[in-house]
Amino acid sequence: MAITFKEEHSVGVKEIDDQHKQFIAILNELADAIDNNKTKETLAHIFDELGSYAEFHFATEEKYFDMFSYDGAEEHKAKHQELKEKIADLKSKMADNQVSLSFELIDFMEDWLIDHLANMDQKYVQCFKEHGLS
Ligand SMILES: [Fe+2]
Ligand SMILES: [Fe+2]
């Protein structure tokens, strides 16, 4: 259930690797909370944290895309946008009791994150390296 950060997911930039680790930690915290039957309020609180962290993390990557005129920026930003919208949508559905946090939802987020780390984030590694970011 819990996911761990693997070295193959490193983008060679400590600031960003640390953020990815924190992103994973919040997801694991959410899975744990469900596992331990925490209240809806607690789950909503951690989910909010996940949403804010996603925004903060995506903004960090996008700042460097702009700084380095990264040519994959547009495609990558669109992927970030998709997840931000998905989280916002889930958040409002949870508030309306149309949806509750489930392991399926966590699985979806975990799959999204691992796929994004392995496929999208790896694509900027070369560009960031060429600009001396480490
Ligand atoms: Fe990322
Ligand atoms: Fe990304």
Domains and CATH numbers, the chain: 11-130 (1.20.120.50)
Q: Token digits for 94?
A: 């949870």
pLDDT at 2 (0 to 100): 84
Distance from residue 43's CA to the centre of ligand 2 (Å): 25
CB 83 within 8 A of CB 52: no
Distance from residue 39's CA to the centre of ligand 2 (Å): 31
Q: Which helix (H) or strand (E) holds 134?
A: none
Q: In order along the chain (134 residues), what is the average pLDDT of each group of 10 residues?
A: 90 97 96 94 94 98 98 98 95 90 90 95 98 95
CB 2 within 8 A of CB 28: yes
pLDDT at 7 (0 to 100): 93
Name the nearest CA neighbour of 117 among 14, 26, 24, 15: 24
For residue 80, the ligand closest to its alpha carbon is 2
Q: How far is CA 33 from CA 9, 56, 113, in A?
A: 26, 23, 19
pLDDT at 69 (0 to 100): 98
Distance from residue 130's CA to the centre of ligand 1 (Å): 18
pLDDT at 65 (0 to 100): 98
CB-based contacts of 8: which residues, under 8 Å, 6+ apart? Answer: 118
For residue 76, the ligand closest to its alpha carbon is 2
Distance from residue 100's CA to the centre of ligand 1 (Å): 26
